A = this chain, B = another copy of it.
Amino acid sequence: MSKGLQTLLTQTPEEGFKLAVKLAQKGIEVTQPSEEIREMLRPVYSRNADSLTAASQVVAIHFQTVAFANNYWN
């Protein structure tokens, strides 16, 4: 995604899910551009169940968008 987000279209739901994950991360990078700091935070939130659930929720919201864009891969 170095050149930016070019399309929401993907070949499969699996790729669509990966795109949703990237979009969720992209939303975090906007507020915290430093990869160093983001990696510093990971060991804590990745072992906190509520943080993991919250992260999964953002993915779920983006997956709605990506799935719709791909006509649910039907």
Show the binding face of A for B, using Cβ within 8 Å.
4-9, 12-14, 16-17, 21, 23-28, 30-32, 37-38, 41-42, 44-65, 67-69, 72-74
Contacts and interface: CB of A to CB of B under 8 A. Distances in A.
A45 B9 CA distance: 33
Task: Give the secondary structure class of A's interface.
Answer: helix
Contacts of A62: 60, 63
Number of chain copies forming the complex: 6
A45 B54 CA distance: 13
B27 A55 contact: yes
A23 B13 CA distance: 11
A13 B17 contact: no
B47 A31 contact: no
